[in-house]
Amino acid sequence: MKIKYKGLSFIRQIALIVGVLIISAQVSFSNESEGRHLTNDEEAYDAGKMIIEHVIDAHEWHIMSIGETHVSVPLPVILYDEGEFVVFMSSKFHHGHEEYKGYKLELDGENKGKIVNVESGVLPLDLSITKNVAAMLMSMVFMSWLFISIARSYTKRKGMAPKGMQSLLEPLIIFIRDDVAKPSIGEKKYEKYMPYLLTLFFFIFLNNMFGLIPFFPGGANLTGNVAVTGVMAVFTFLITTFSANKNYWVHIVNTPGVPWWLKIPVPLMPIVEIMGVFTKPFVLMVRLFANITAGHIIVLGFMSLIFIFGNMNVGLGYGVSVVSVAFAIFMGLLELLVAFIQAYVFTLLSALYFGMAMEESH
């Protein structure tokens, strides 16, 4: 048992180092690509606009554009305005070129990409099934189907060796249980948190993977969206807060082992500790969002290079495409690794916070 633990901590260290390297590499890469496309703003092809449009949410699921024809999946728009719900398909906007029922989709300016009431100019409460919501619902249906069917094979083939899908995902489930939940939360209490941790891990992991698929069923940058990562961070925060014991609060209000003058008269330590309570989920939110979005931006940046150079000279574009595709493939492989690492890190940190909240005084 000892050896196993040592080996694992070694793997964890390597994963951490690789993770840090990737994060720092991505930040520097993304700065570079941003610098590049800014200089090409005057071109007909706007790389920055294209990249941002690809990583943010939208009211329609854009598949491709052939000349001026846009092929996209229309999604339902749900608005709550002036006390009533307004529901229609986003295709009514004709990609923002037309108004419908007194609403229009802003294409430029401050409210770019948002639906505005034409008469009053205010923004209605937008509960539309956007691209990300649709992707999220699809992934959830997929997850429910996947895991419920696996669960059925567990009840059907009781006590037997895993088979098919079951044996593919079982190592991950056991990994979350034995190497994330058990050491972080403790043997006694981990079971209560397993459903949340497993759901969290697989939701992040699968959506990271779907985000890497460049066309229709995938391609939504779901885990690279602050709203999504923020909601997950809030879940972790709420579970941490509600499972906290007395010892946790004592630690925050009256941190033991700290000189008294750090607490009275100016409650310096309590302030730091209370800030820490909120920074933990905040960091969870930003880490996942930044990692996934940065990865997408880099790949899109490499792709943009082809068109930027292609606009200058067609031959140059073809020449650059070789290098760009090679780099994009490399980034894609790196992203596969990041998809797992980020899901793992989010889950591990959540588990660690739960464990810290329930730690007994020593």
The yes or no reply on residue 89 touching other proteins (CB under 8 A) is no
Q: Which stretch binds other proteins (CB under 8 A): 6-14, 23-31, 189-197, 349-357?
A: 189-197
Q: Which is nearer to other proteins, 121 or 195 (CB)?
A: 195
Query: Smallest distance from the beta carbon of 22 to other proteins, in angstroms?
Result: 19
Query: Smallest distance from the beta carbon of 52 to other proteins, in angstroms?
Result: 7
The yes or no reply on residue 203 touching other proteins (CB under 8 A) is yes
**Interface pick for other proteins out of 112, 218, 254, 272 (rule CB under 8 A):** 112
* Cα pseudo-dihedral 163, 166, 168, 173, rounded to 10: -140
Please answer whether residues 208 and 339 qualify as being in contact, where contact means their C-beta atoms are separated by less than 8 angstroms. Answer: yes
Tell me the C-alpha distance between 73 and 54, whole Å: 15
Tell me the C-alpha distance between 211 and 204, whole Å: 10
Strands annotated E in the chain: 60-66, 69-74, 76-81, 84-89, 103-105, 115-117, 125-126
Tell me the C-alpha distance between 37 and 231, whole Å: 32
**Interface pick for other proteins out of 90, 132, 184, 304 (rule CB under 8 A):** 132
Identity at 327, one-letter amino acid code: F
By CB under 8 A, how many residues form the interface with other proteins? 51
**What is the footprint of other proteins within residues 34-53 (CB under 8 A)?**
52
Strands 84-89 and 60-66 come out as unpaired
Draw the binding track, 5-34, toward other proteins (x: CB under 8 A; -: no contact): ------------------------------
**Interface pick for other proteins out of 47, 75, 150, 299 (rule CB under 8 A):** 150
In terms of C-beta density within 10 A (0-12 exposed, 13-18 middle, 19 or more buried), how is residue 176 classed? Answer: buried
Say how many residues make up the chain: 362
The yes or no reply on residue 330 touching other proteins (CB under 8 A) is no
Q: Which residues bind other proteins (CB under 8 A)?
A: 52, 55-57, 78, 112-113, 125-130, 132-133, 136-137, 140, 143-144, 147-148, 150-152, 154-155, 158-160, 170, 173-174, 177, 191, 194-196, 198-199, 203, 225-228, 230-232, 234-235, 293
